[in-house]
Structure 1
Amino acid sequence: MNIRQLEAFRTTMMVGTVNGAADLLGLSQPSVSRLIAELEKELGVTLFNRAAGRLVPTPEGRMIHEQVENTFRAYQRIGELAADVRRLRVGSISIACMPALGITFLPAVMARFCEAHPDVDISLDVQSSTKVEDWIATERIDLGLAEVPYDREDLSVDEFCNVPYYAVMKKGDQLGQKSMLSPADFVGRAFISTTAHYQARPHVDRLFESRDIHRVMRIDTSFSHATCELAALGVGVGFIDPFSVHGYLDRVDVRLVDPCITFRVGLLYPRSRPLSKVGRTFVSFMKECRDRWLAEVAAACRPHV
């Protein structure tokens, strides 16, 4: 039994004659008759009674026709689904992301993506980088954003960004008079530091300790956006990634520091499960938004006149 036999039977049932079915299918009348005869032989069921030159469906033929119609509707649904997939009218993606990119950056990406593809479902979990890695390795999610470096062989990684941390301070702070800062500029300044689980923390501490520079270690915070808020309120200065500070550019000044400390983030995927078209399209939206945000933060590094 094959699809051509079923198609010949179905079309004959629709139009009532073999000649009519042959015209619709672009076949000869003998070809349609042969396909129906082959189907009857394979099924062991008489599908039509032949009387006075006409084909009259048998009760068994009508029952089988009902199932054939279900089959063709299923074929049609497969085609429609494939078209929806191609046009991103259906699908879903699950994402886990470290807080620095999960609080403001990814929601901004999601807003633009959902506007362009309103029928795609998205789930977002904001988690630590370590948990993001674990979830990717166990295929709990489709896509992850986590800070690197890490030592994992059970997931696939593409670089998402490798950019400098910025010094962040209250708008109008005297440090903002310089276009580039050095560690010496922070002598005696109240410093807002990230907690020890941040990968940047030991690098920042070594930057100052190796130069015997004393900061006033006033506040530790485990949340990068809290660093921005505290800096905006004038509590102190800190080092921050460009994604966290982007939404604060109207309230804070940002400056590069030489030597710089880099913020590296990887795009993580399950090793044995490639991204779907929905996932690949979402990544392209992320990269477009990333480039725009990084350019806007870099443009904000202008000294006070």
Structure 2
Amino acid sequence: MGKLNAKQMEVFVAVMTHGSITAAAQQLSVSQPAVSRMIERFEQAAGFHAFERRRGKLLPTPESEIFFAEVRQVYRGIEYLQEVAREIGCTGRGSLRVGVFPAFAEGWISQRLAQYLVGRERLFTSLAPMSTDSIVDAVSRQTIDFGIAMRASDREGICCEEIYRSEIVCIMPKGHRLKGKRSIGPADLSGEAFVSMADRGHVRSSVDAIFNSGGIEREIRAESPWASSVCHLVSRGIGVALVIRESAEEFAHLGYHIAAFKPQVDYRAYLISSTARAMPAAAQGFRDMLLMDYSEAKKPTL
């Protein structure tokens, strides 16, 4: 009794499946004598008689039936593993862990993530709101695949790619005294009750610097890292706010006025990833989609 090899198994399965030497040979694209020789070698290695002829028909022995039932179990397992490999390769299986600055953890990232998950029912996704510093730390520790942060990082082993750019606009409660103005400046908001984005990043610093340089005081009544919360508070008359244009437009149904803010304050976001390891296929696919979306958005409209 020898050792079964993959070719012998393939021929045995072909004969069992198709019921004859002729059909098996056609399926394998080999000659009938080649199949017959391989079956002989299979029997020698397996240690049992595999087939017998009765009235011109090739019939499997009881031993072959038992063995074939086991082989089919193995083949089903291999087919399952092939499907798993295919899904992993095309980003359809696995996990995707993304850390997102709170201002982006709502509509912007959710819309794109929902788009990416279409057809990827076996891909588990974790979307966690984090500060920029926490995102950089998590990427370094490899507890997330990548992050979307408000500012770039110069930490060793970290890659930063600009992925979003927008502008700050002013939102005001319905009926506000400035509702008719298309553009709002710092002086217009002197003494106003203010709802602030609690980002503590370069945008917040830039906005504070604009007001401080002009000696313009505001009454900060509330703050939140969530754009939706800020927009809700404004719609309830708590105060005015400066938010990114996309957030203002996304929640405009709440009922408030939107006006441009001058001087213009740019709002940027960065995709933070690690250079110390390869990104998983699912994360790489989502990253590529986000960067492609950004590249398309930057193209001038005709």
Class of the TM-score when normalised by the shorter of the 2 chains: 0.7 to 0.9
Name the CA distance, whole Å, in 1 between partners of 2:211 and 2:112.
36
Q: Which residue pairs with 1:18 in the alignment? A: 21
Name the CA distance, whole Å, in 2 between partners of 1:189 and 1:140.
42
TM alignment of 1:231-242, pairs within 5 A: 231-242=234-245
Query: Contact conserved, 1:193 with 1:217, CA < 8 A, in 2?
Result: no
Residue 83 of structure 1 deviates from its aligned partner by 5.9
Calculate the TM-score normalised by the size of structure 2.
0.75
Query: Contact conserved, 1:269 with 1:275, CA < 8 A, in 2?
Result: no
User: Cα–Cα, structure 1 residues 116 and 254, in superposed 2: closer, same or farther, change >3 Å?
Assistant: farther
Q: Which residue pairs with 1:261 in the alignment? A: 265
Gaps of 5+ in 1: 295-305
| SS of residue paired to 1:175 | coil
Deviation string 1:30-89 (CA, Å, 9 cap, x unpaired) is 111233344456x47455477889877677756654443233223332444466568876
**Equivalent of 1:132 in 130, 135, 145:** 135
The number of residue pairs the alignment matches comes to 291
Percent identical:
24
Deviation string 1:282-302 (CA, Å, 9 cap, x unpaired) is 86379769999x9xxxxxxxx
Deviation string 1:120-174 (CA, Å, 9 cap, x unpaired) is 4433222222222322332323342221132333343332212222222223433
Task: Read off the aligned partner of 2:220 and give its amino acid letter.
Answer: R
| SS of residue paired to 1:236 | coil
Name the CA distance, whole Å, in 2 between partners of 1:121 and 1:65.
36
Name the CA distance, whole Å, in 1 between partners of 2:247 and 2:288.
19
Deviation string 1:247-285 (CA, Å, 9 cap, x unpaired) is 331322222323222221122344423352576258637
Calculate the TM-score normalised by the size of structure 1.
0.74
Q: Which residue pairs with 1:123 in the alignment? A: 126
User: Cα–Cα, structure 1 residues 265 and 254, in superposed 2: closer, same or farther, change >3 Å?
Assistant: same
TM alignment of 1:1-305, pairs within 5 A: 2-15=5-18, 17-39=20-42, 43=45, 45-46=47-48, 48=50, 64-81=67-84, 90-111=93-114, 118=121, 120-195=123-198, 197-211=200-214, 213-225=215-227, 226-250=229-253, 251-271=255-275, 272-277=277-282, 280=285, 284=289
User: Cα–Cα, structure 1 residues 167 and 121, in superposed 2: closer, same or farther, change >3 Å?
Assistant: same
User: Cα–Cα, structure 1 residues 111 and 26, in superposed 2: closer, same or farther, change >3 Å?
Assistant: closer
Query: Contact conserved, 1:181 with 1:258, CA < 8 A, in 2?
Result: yes
Name the CA distance, whole Å, in 2 between partners of 1:134 and 1:81.
31
User: Cα–Cα, structure 1 residues 210 and 201, in superposed 2: closer, same or farther, change >3 Å?
Assistant: same
User: Cα–Cα, structure 1 residues 156 and 40, in superposed 2: closer, same or farther, change >3 Å?
Assistant: farther
Name the CA distance, whole Å, in 2 between partners of 1:185 and 1:290.
36
Deviation string 1:169-219 (CA, Å, 9 cap, x unpaired) is 2234333433223323223333333447344222212112223x3223332
Please give the root-mean-square deviation of Cα atoms over the aligned residues, in Å: 3.9
Query: Contact conserved, 2:153 with 2:160, CA < 8 A, in 1?
Result: no
Query: Contact conserved, 1:142 with 1:269, CA < 8 A, in 2?
Result: yes
User: Cα–Cα, structure 1 residues 172 and 160, in superposed 2: closer, same or farther, change >3 Å?
Assistant: farther
User: Cα–Cα, structure 1 residues 133 and 19, in superposed 2: closer, same or farther, change >3 Å?
Assistant: same
